[in-house]
Structure formats: structure tokens, C-alpha cells
Chain A
């Protein structure tokens, strides 16, 4: 699950390091400002409507080898 709140700069820094990203403090601070917009978009798509837990995504696997 996504965090209930957006990550702080410190949490984002830790996740960047865990992901193998080598970023400077200046870069991380800048990225965090953009991340806050992305976190808001994620909250919006997760919170929209009363989508059932088992809802299929738009892209599904089609059986057969024609693809």
C-alpha cells in the first residue's frame, strides 16, 4: 500500500538510497517538491469511487499466441 501520507524529504531520501539512486541533497529536495504532486495523483486514483478490490485493470492478458 501507498503511505497514508506523502513521504517526507527524509523518507524519500531513504527510499532513494534503498532503490540504488545516487542523488545529491539538492537534487533530492527538488525531486521532493515534484513528488508531492505525484503523491496527490496516487491518492486520487486510489480513492476514486467504490472500486472493488478485485477490479480488473484496463490491460489484461489475452490467451493465445497471436500477439
Chain B
């Protein structure tokens, strides 16, 4: 079976040209063939998936079609609570954790009709890394299993790129949706802070954590984000606004749209690979051809965003993990524990200085975004590195391009904008104003439709 996007599959399912049972069987066959090389899953639930597929098929045949996610193979990052199904955060500390209640977004997606294929690998507690000292191996990149899939939503990136499922959930505290989307050649959106409830998702850093989807296309992300959104009073950050109509806005075009290129981030603050620079230049030309007005934008130095974001992340993560750090240090994997312990060595003054700087950075961003409808920049400075090249403190040493928009809480989308000479994906990041997620998705969708990067899949 040719691998469809969610939008393509849902049209075929709605028109009864595609059977959810046949689609689920095709995905399970791909998993059987390639999962041993990729380690995308912590727990595969084929019986639940097939049972749901049969139920979806019966419902659809009886005229009870739920919408574009009905009968779509799907899986969750293993920090999303799933009632009755182990939720481990890829950690020995939660190896036997079976929640009684599902996360808000898990319930929303189940109500929309997705087929539950299981739980996906993550970096430990969404901040570890490609660790080899945990009960499960790290996920690998389907484009080349010797390479890093990104993280922390590593299993989601691998599973969606491999076509094991058509979409999956991720979480993003400093880039953990956008990084695997970039390295695995997917679309992944960190929506505006507060748009999606985090209830039932293992916290890493309360004021930086965002839930969100990864999928093959931007249109698929819009479908998923619409289904996942909604007010939830159990998450104090959840906003009480009408659910966004994202899919309707996708085809409105970008003629006249003002696009700011945050050029100093990637030409001065953090160096990028020449291939990334060439893809960026080509992307700018595509957007100009589509009618966008492109100019350079200026934000505070990337290191300011990285320092404020990282200190907030360390302090808040330590608050979550302190009891276990003191009593079960060696039950964590080395990468996570030797990072989160930094919270013991920073002061309240350091944390408050970071949070004060956050206000200043957000003010600067808001001022610059009066001139632009969206900002663009690369998602990552290089194609996916080899697994062994990812170091414990690399994220402390070199500022990344994703943390600024966790600090700001603005929507940020990563899409594929080409391939390296070695066949690895490259990625473009599109950032919008708060609650203008629809604009970000429309730009990404328009770019995707104008290019042919979606015609290439990894060879497993």
C-alpha cells in the first residue's frame, strides 16, 4: 500500500475507498519489518489497534463517520498518560506506572477516532538523550539508523517518518517536537502556550512545556491540532478560547504576507552547515515567488534566549524531580540525571533573573513582530548527527534555534525544506504571533504545496 498522509487517508476512508482495517494491517506490517532497526515503540498495542480499526470500519459503514481522524493509525509519546496502558517516560522510575486516567489530549484524540498503536520512545522524562542505560533502547532515524532522530519526541519522529503510524503526539520544552520533526523530515508544531492542555502529560518545566503533534504534512498537523485543542481547567495554563479553525485557513495563500528572517541567529549567533544555509536561501526564494515580502528581522542575541530558557528549564525540572534525585539518582539514566541535578546548584536569584529576562525578551519579540506576520529561520544548524555525536552537555554549550519560542510561548512550526547530500532531511522553522497558529500553518502548507519535498520517503 502506498503510504498516505492523514488528509489523504481520511478522504479515502470517508469515501469508503480505504478500509481502516487494511490501513492498520499495512502499518503493522511496516512495523514488523522495520521496528527492530528503529526502536520507535516502548509498547506496541496491535490488538487494541486492530479492534479499534474493526470498530471504526463498522461505524463508518453504518454512517457514523466521526471526522478526519476516524480510523487513522496513531501513537503517543510515552509521557502522555494512557489509562490502563503503561506510561513510563522511558524511565526505570516509572517502569510499572499504569495510569488510571488518560491525558486530556489522549481522550480528545480517542474521541476523534484514532487507532491506538501504542506508546512511543522518548528521551527519559523528555530531556535525556539517546541513552543506552535505560530499560529500552533509544529510537533511531529512519533516514539512516546510525543517525539521531532528534528528541525528546524521538519515537514519534521515527514512527511517523517510517510510516508505522500516520501521526503522533510530542511535547516541546526547548524544541522536543520541532527537533525530531526536523531530523526525521516531518511537520511538527509547538502551538501557542495554553492552546493545548498538558493535563496528564509528565511535566518537565511547567512554564516552557507545550503539547503538540507530529505528522507527514502541515495539513495533517492542522487536523491533529484542531482535534487536540480545547479548554481544560485542570491545566492552569489552558486558555478558555474557542477551538481554532486551522484547516480552513490553510489555503488562503501568502501573497503580501510580511516574513522576517532572523538572520543573525544563524549567520552570527550559532553557525550552520552550508547545506542548511543553501536550503534557507532557497526557501526564502520560494516564499518570495509565492508573494511574501521578505526582510531581515532582529531579535536579542540567541544566547540570551538560551540562557534564560535553560535556567528556567533546569530550575523547574529540578522542582519536579528533586525527591527522586536525592533518593534514586542512579535509577535515572546518566544523561537525564547529570543534567537535572544542575538545579541544586543555581539560586532563587538566578531563576528570577531568568524569568525577568524572559519578560524583556518577550517584549522585544512582540515589538519586532509588529513589523512581520511570521519569522523564519532554520530549525536546526545541521542535518541529524550520528547517534554517538550527541553529548551530555552539548545543549548547554551551543544555543539552539528552538528554545526562544518556548521562552516566548509563540507558535513555531518545523517543516522539511530539503535534503543533505547524504540524504538526511533539512528543516525550516516558521514562527508566529501568540494564537496566530493558523497563520504559521498556512505559510507552512503553502510552502509544502509549492515544493516537492513530500514526495520522498525514507527507504527502510
Interface residue? B325 (CB, 8 A): yes
Asked whether A46 and B358 contact (CB < 8 A) given A34-B393, A41-B310, the answer is no
Interface pick from B181-189, B336-344, B377-385, B436-444: B336-344
Query: Is B304 touching A48 in the complex (CB atoms < 8 A)?
Result: yes
Query: Complex: how many Å from CA A34 to CA B329?
Result: 17
Q: A20-B326, A31-B341, A42-B311 are in contact. Are A57 and B303 (CB under 8 A)?
A: no
Q: How far apart sit A15 and B345, CA to CA, in the bound complex (Å)?
A: 7
Q: Is the CB of A58 within 8 A of B307?
A: no
Check A44–B307 contact: CB distance below 8 A: yes
Cβ A37 vs Cβ B329 within 8 A = no
Beta-carbon nearest neighbor of A23 in chain B: B329
- Is residue A4 contacting chain B, with contact meaning CB distance below 8 A? no
Binds A, one of B20-28, B285-293, B346-354: B346-354
Q: How far is the CA of A20 from the CA of B346 in the complex (A)?
A: 15
Q: Is the CB of B310 within 8 A of A38?
A: yes
> Mask for A1-41, Cβ within 8 A of B = 1, else 0?
11000010000100110011111000100110111011111
| B-side interface size class | 35 or more
CB distance from A35 to the nearest CB of B (A): 5
Q: Which residues of chain A are within 8 angstroms of B397 by Cβ–Cβ distance? A: 37
Interface residues of B, dominant DSSP:
helix
State whether A58 touches B358 (Cβ < 8 A).
Answer: yes
Task: Decide if A38 touches B342 in the complex (CB within 8 Å).
Answer: yes
Quick one: given A59-B207, A67-B236, are A7 and B345 in contact (CB under 8 Å)?
Answer: yes
**Is B132 interfacial (CB-CB < 8 Å)?**
no
Contact of B357 among A12, A30, A48 (CB under 8 A): A48
Is the beta-carbon distance between B314 and A38 smaller than 8 angstroms?
A: yes
Q: For chain B residues 48-101, which have a beta carbon within 8 Å of chain A?
A: none
Q: Which residues in chain B, 345-379, are within 8 Å of chain A measured between CB atoms?
A: 345-347, 349-350, 352-360, 362
B window 264-318: CB within 8 A of A: 303-304, 306-308, 310-311, 314
Listed residue (A7, A21, A27, A46) with the most chain B CB atoms within 10 angstroms of its CB = A46
A43 CA / B392 CA spacing, docked (Å):
21
The reply to whether A22 and B329 contact each other, CB–CB distance below 8 Å, is: yes
Question: How far is it, in angstroms, between the C-alpha of A15 and the C-alpha of B347 when the chains are bound?
Answer: 12
How far does the Cβ of A61 sit from chain B's closest Cβ, in whole Å? 12
- Shortest distance in angstroms between A17's beta carbon and chain B's nearest beta carbon? 11
Q: Max chain B CB contacts within 10 Å: which of A15, A20, A37?
A: A37
Check if A58 sits within 8 Å of B355, measured CB to CB.
Answer: yes
**Chain A residues within an 8 Å CB radius of B344:** 15-16, 19, 21
- Decide: B392 and A57 in contact? CB cutoff 8 A: no
Partner of B360 from A15, A16, A48 at Cβ < 8 Å: A48
Q: Are A55 and B356 in contact (CB under 8 A)?
A: yes
User: Do A46 and B350 have beta carbons less than 8 Å apart?
Assistant: yes
What's the minimum C-beta distance from A4 to chain B, rounded to whole angstroms? 13
Chain B residues in 8 Å Cβ range of A1: 347, 349
- List 4 other contacts, CB 8 Å, given A21-B329, A35-B345, A48-B360: A37-B396, A45-B356, A48-B304, A58-B207
5 A-B contacts (beta carbon < 8 Å)? A15-B344, A23-B329, A42-B347, A45-B304, A45-B311
